[in-house]
A and B are shown apart, each in its own frame.
Chain A
Amino acid sequence: MASSLLLALAVFLWPADRLDLNSASPEEIGALEGVSGEQADSLHRYIYLMGGLENIYQLTEVEGIGPSELEALRRQCILVPPEPDRLPPEVLDVMEKLASEDSPGDAAVAEWENLLVRPLPVNEATSWDLRSLDRVSLVDAAAVERRLRSIGPVSSIRSLRSVENLSYYGYRNMRDFVSTRELDLSSLKLFGSYRMIVEGGAGRDSDEEGYDAALDNLGSALFEMSTGGADYSGSPVDSALLYEQLQASREELLSARGVTGFTHRVSGGLGDRMRGGVRLARGRLSTAGHDLFRDMDMGEVSNRFDQAKAFVSLHHLGPLRQVVLGNYRLALGQGLLVDNSGELMYRRLERPWGLHPDLTSTRQFALTGAAVEARQGPFLGYGFLSSSSRDAILSQNGVPNVPAAMQYRCGRYTDALIETTYGGYCFADLGGILPTGTAVGLGGMSIAYDDSLFPDADYLDVPNDGYYWDCPEYRSLEATDGMTLLGVSGQTVVGPMSLEGELSRQDDGASAFLIASRWQNDYFYLTAAARHYDLGYSNPYCRGFSEQKRYDDTVFEKPYYLTDPLVSQLQEWPTPKPEEGVYLESRFQVSDQVVFPKLYLDVWRSLPYDFDNHRFQGEVEYRADFPVRFRLKYKYQSKTKMHDVVPTTSRTHEYTLRSFFLPFAHDYFDVRLRLGMVELTPNPLYGDDRLLSGGYLSARWEHDFSDRLSVLGGTTLWTTDGMSQWEFEDTGIDFLDGDGTKFYLTFKNALSDNLQLRFRVLRKDTFYPRTGLYRPDPEDQFHYQGDPDSAVRDFGDHVTGYGIRCQLDFRW
């Protein structure tokens, strides 16, 4: 708009025979009076590299252009401003924030990135659409819908600020994803993007350590069996066959050594009608070829990739809002019945609600088939059908034991089942007769496997090792060839308050429920949530609010208690642990200088053993002056877990002091100090109180060279005495153990509005002193690899790891 006005003004004020320098050729510039051929070449080159000038005085930077040349150019030339970038820098900033601390997760980021480029038409949005946005509550979403229903469309996003009951927080989180554009269903404008990510490392970084640990665990199990340390008498496990199977798994994992991860993702669309996309990827240190286009011989392609996803979606076909063929994501209600993201976000009530195409890295929970979203009057309905292969842990007799989401996959467990899933969810919007945002929903889902699952601990437990293998979360699983689930949900919004909930029930009677309520205004919100997950509730698509994953603090964290150490990957199964509890969260802005960004209290009971747990976290932030902020955070947790028959309780105190500075206009500086202590209560097996501690100091500095180029550097020093730490880097969580230092550098360069490059390199050094290794008994000695008779003395294990990540985004 502004450039068009400028153009009109330029044409009006200047004679038509003046030359537009921004679009002139070298010959045209050379033909001007007072400009030589060489000067013309320099001028043209400069303007070409700059992408156009905005004012004539920029030419003084060109070598050979002095005051007389400048005057001559002013008389003879005009400057028609270059076209503004279609992607403003603020949008790129938001994209960066999505990858930062408190990240919403892979699936959410993918959807919100799409909305940043093609914002949601707000005048046609309902609360169902708005609530899926990052940190937009049901109260915020209903407030906007109420405004649109009662008064009509808005002419600018800024006018939403005055909507009653829409908090400033909600408005700020919403404004980048919505616009006043209208849906253009007749347009066939082609748009798209290509993303390439290369991710690798060297040395012993955390990926390599996890991979080495998996190999070591297999090696340790083989060693035990070969030296007669494992007694399988009385067990249904054939130890000789198990030995062969573990060897084969190890060989297969070894083939993945040194593999660099990469991703190619292409997506695009035609106007607002049609979208499509393809993703081909190979995970770092992953084995290849499994599940890629099942039953199709892909030859070399199978050896290069380990994941393939694709979709085609059609939009706005009358009552059919969306039809997706291929891979799709579905998250409805409170996520108790269906939410097929591959991650469980602790203590999160938000999720990218609704139906979306799926090109995320989720594997085990990817839905492949068809899904439809329909709206007619007050009814919103979803239907879905999927047939996908699934990994599962097999008993030695070849019978599927339990499904698992495995990072280190070997052929034996890969694609062990075919899962057929179908279902639907229908919502009735009662906002016409009750307050806006009121709705009820009813849904159902059927999951069927082509082979029956028989959970049997006898095939997983190492027999005769003196350890009593008790895991109620696992033992409560029953033999099944699938399950049927029903879900009921409801929600309402009254002024600044909302109430919502969902109840889901399995066909065997196990159930789960979640009720959440929120009261908010511009300065304060209070959220309360109550949840309950039965021990037998094992819906693989449940991602409801919880404190722990199902197999946290269980025997699956100890590979040496398992016949196959790879089974320990079951601890990553992303469904809620059987628990019940109450969660309270608040944010309170006391004044312009003082705010409590987040306070929460979680009181929950872990149902397998009826242990009571508490967790409190409070943050207070003080803004002394605009460019300076201080934030103090305190966390307390009391948690009990079963440990070798006798429970162990730990009490954790953690303090974090953080300060933010803006020392100069283009610099951002962030320093963080954390100290933590864990106190283990007396335990008959482990003696007196044990005190663990740890802490770190980190600093981060970001400098903006321009709105297109910024460099971020960070460093961390840490020391731990039994208590590992975690910290947010710029792209995710990193765990710190031992003593060490870390340094990383990130370049973020928007080369143009079509091409963005993000490049990151990291070096991490960790030191573990290994002392007290001398053993007089040769049978009990530590030894070097390949030399069992060599004695080892004390040494320091200096672990150095490097990570390199390169991401290229091309949009058109």
Chain B
Amino acid sequence: MSLLLTVLAFATIPASLPSVLDMGIPCPSTSARGISMGESGFVELTPTGALRNPALSGLLGPGLLVEVSGGTRLTMEKRLRKVYDEFGSSIGESEEAFNRHISTFPGGVSATGSGAVGIPNNVSITAGLYRPYSFCYDYDRMVMDESYVETARERLEVSGRASELALAACFAPSERLLVGLGAGYLFGNRTSRWVVSYVDPTADDVLQVTDTDVSGASARASALYRAGRVAISAGMDYSLSYELTGDEQASVSLPPVFHAGAVYEPGNALRTVFTGECYYSARSDAEREGADMYDRDAWGMSAGVENDLPGGPVGRFGFSYRSSPISRALDRMAFTLGLGFRLGDYSLDVGGSFSPGRWRQVEVPDMVSFDPGDSLVVEESSTTVLLSIGRRFEL
């Protein structure tokens, strides 16, 4: 769902706007532990992870576990243009524009409990509010003539976020098998503001503001099987509805997303935990108002490791690869790191991911370049840091 919103955001940018790729940033993880384990979302061993994989809550232990997360994202973007000599050989790339944007965001709040009064020990309930993706992008460029005199200033600001209120339940019919069901209600808002201010007072400035509300509902089902030291899980995410209202009106049909993952605890002095997951979605079947959106099928994988460092905190690192439904040029890898601290019943985790990318505007279909015939290169990097605080209550 989050990947689709990225597409929708691109498609609704008015013509003549600069091409934008950072709208509708998907957030695979909304807790520090998850993000540091390769941006895991399906086998993220936190209450938020249990919202996405209902069967996972059976691994989180008895009692009530509450977690709150928040974070910050730094996005840097360079736009480059190749320079050629008279023989047509490239001598390098000249920087056209540079943008840096820092945003803070709430990751979410969630709680999972089992063994409470009235709830059998083999049942877990999870509830929470989390942010599956955000709209957050700033772009600023000075337009100059051949004599390098400023003629205009162009700015694009996109803001907003989508949140999901979710509920999940897990039932363990046996020691080895857990099954779960969940549902979520999505709501949010996206605002984009594009301004072109000309130095020449006789030229009309341009201002375009678009305000769009998003809403939708989804259902989830998953199962988890424990085989010795390995827990294997599989599940499906199905979008029941997705609507755009406001300055844009559209109804979107999305294919389901299939997930699979595993948690492996080999048993060693470092109390290592290894997680791996993958997903697949036949995004080529996605439709907007009954019309094909010409997306690619999307898939992704991630892996993460957690170790109890001798005498110190928990150390985590991971890796992820996600293909983009829009263009292969937007496929991304990410490198993640994190630390965790245990203070009695409290846990404090900090984690981060770093994802670089490089693509050409002409490689992304339906993207409008801001100069005709241009083929700027965009180099971008996204650094996300999340902080999570959790507490376990005995019930």
Contacts and interface: CB of A to CB of B under 8 A. Distances in A.
B305 A757 contact: yes
Interface string B69-109: 00000000000011111111111111100000000000000
B305 A806 contact: no
Contact of B82 (A48, A755, A785): A785
Contacts of B269: 50-51, 706, 708
Closest 7 CB pairs of A and B: A51-B267, A223-B88, A797-B92, A752-B266, A202-B356, A49-B271, A785-B82
Nearest to B342: A63
Nearest to B147: A791
Contacts of B266: 51, 751-752, 754-755
B274 A757 contact: yes
Contact of A260 (B270, B318, B331): B331
Interface stretch (A111-119, A212-220, A676-684): A212-220
A222 B318 CA distance: 44
A795 B92 contact: yes
B381 to A, nearest CB: 8
Contacts of B315: 705, 709
Interface in A755-769: 755, 757, 759, 761, 768
A386 to B, nearest CB: 36
Contact of B264 (A202, A749, A755, A770): A755
Given A258-B331, A795-B92, A797-B93, A752 B268 contact: yes
A784 interface: yes
A526 interface: no
A48 B271 CA distance: 9
A60 to B, nearest CB: 14
B265 A747 contact: no
B199 to A, nearest CB: 20
Contacts of B81: 784-786
A747 B88 CA distance: 43
A295 interface: no
Contacts of A784: 81-84, 94
A781 interface: yes
B270 A709 contact: yes
10 contacts: A51-B267, A200-B333, A212-B90, A229-B87, A706-B269, A781-B86, A782-B85, A795-B92, A797-B91, A806-B303
B146 A790 contact: yes
Contacts of A708: 268-270, 272
Interface string B288-327: 0000000000000001010101100001011101000000
A642 interface: no
A751 B305 CA distance: 9
B285 interface: no
Interface string A212-237: 10001101101110010100000000
Given A785-B84, A795-B95, A751 B90 contact: no
A49 B87 contact: no
A759 B319 contact: yes
Contacts of B90: 212, 216, 219-220
Contact of B310 (A216, A560, A706, A782): A706
Interface stretch (B26-34, B42-50, B371-379): B371-379
Interface in B230-283: 264-272, 274
B333 A804 contact: yes
A770 B82 CA distance: 12
B328 interface: yes
Contact of A802 (B307, B356, B375): B356
B150 interface: no
A769 B93 CA distance: 11
Nearest to A754: B266
A50 B266 CA distance: 8
B373 A751 contact: no
A351 B356 CA distance: 39
Interface in B336-395: 354, 356-359, 363, 371, 373-375, 379, 381
Nearest to B327: A258
A618 to B, nearest CB: 39
A257 B363 contact: yes
A761 B352 CA distance: 14
A800 interface: yes
B379 A800 contact: yes
B86 A49 contact: no
A202 B95 contact: no
Contacts of A48: 229, 265, 267
Contacts of A49: 265, 267, 271
B325 to A, nearest CB: 14
B195 interface: no
A208 B80 CA distance: 15
A219 B88 CA distance: 7
B84 A751 contact: no
Contact of A202 (B91, B229, B358, B374): B358
Contacts of A643: none
A146 interface: no
Contact of B268 (A51, A259, A757): A51
Interface residues of A, number: 64
A199 to B, nearest CB: 10
B83 A50 contact: no
Contacts of A257: 328-329, 363
Contacts of B194: none
Contacts of A806: 303, 319
B83 A792 contact: yes
Interface in A717-756: 747, 749, 751-752, 754-755
A799 B82 CA distance: 12
B303 A216 contact: no
A301 B268 CA distance: 39
A184 interface: no
A34 interface: no
Contact of B87 (A223, A709, A754, A773): A223
B225 interface: no
Nearest to B90: A216
Contacts of A260: 321, 331, 333
Contacts of B135: none
A784 B272 CA distance: 52
Contacts of A202: 333, 356-358, 379, 381
Contacts of B381: 202
Contact of B86 (A198, A779, A800): A779
B328 A258 contact: yes
A256 to B, nearest CB: 10
B328 A783 contact: no
B87 A792 contact: no
B335 interface: yes
B371 to A, nearest CB: 8
A647 interface: no
Given A258-B331, A751-B264, A791-B146, A198 B321 contact: yes
A608 interface: no
A798 interface: yes
A519 to B, nearest CB: 47
Contacts of A759: 317-319, 335
A219 B309 CA distance: 52
B331 A770 contact: no
Contacts of B310: 705-706
B89 A220 contact: yes
Given A48-B265, A52-B267, A752-B266, A808 B91 contact: no
A799 B272 CA distance: 38
Contacts of B333: 198, 200, 202, 260, 804
A799 B373 CA distance: 24
Contacts of B83: 770, 773, 782-785, 792, 795
A204 B335 contact: no
Interface string A770-812: 1001000001111111100011110101111010101010000
A200 B335 CA distance: 12
A768 B95 CA distance: 13
Contacts of B329: 257-258
A393 to B, nearest CB: 22
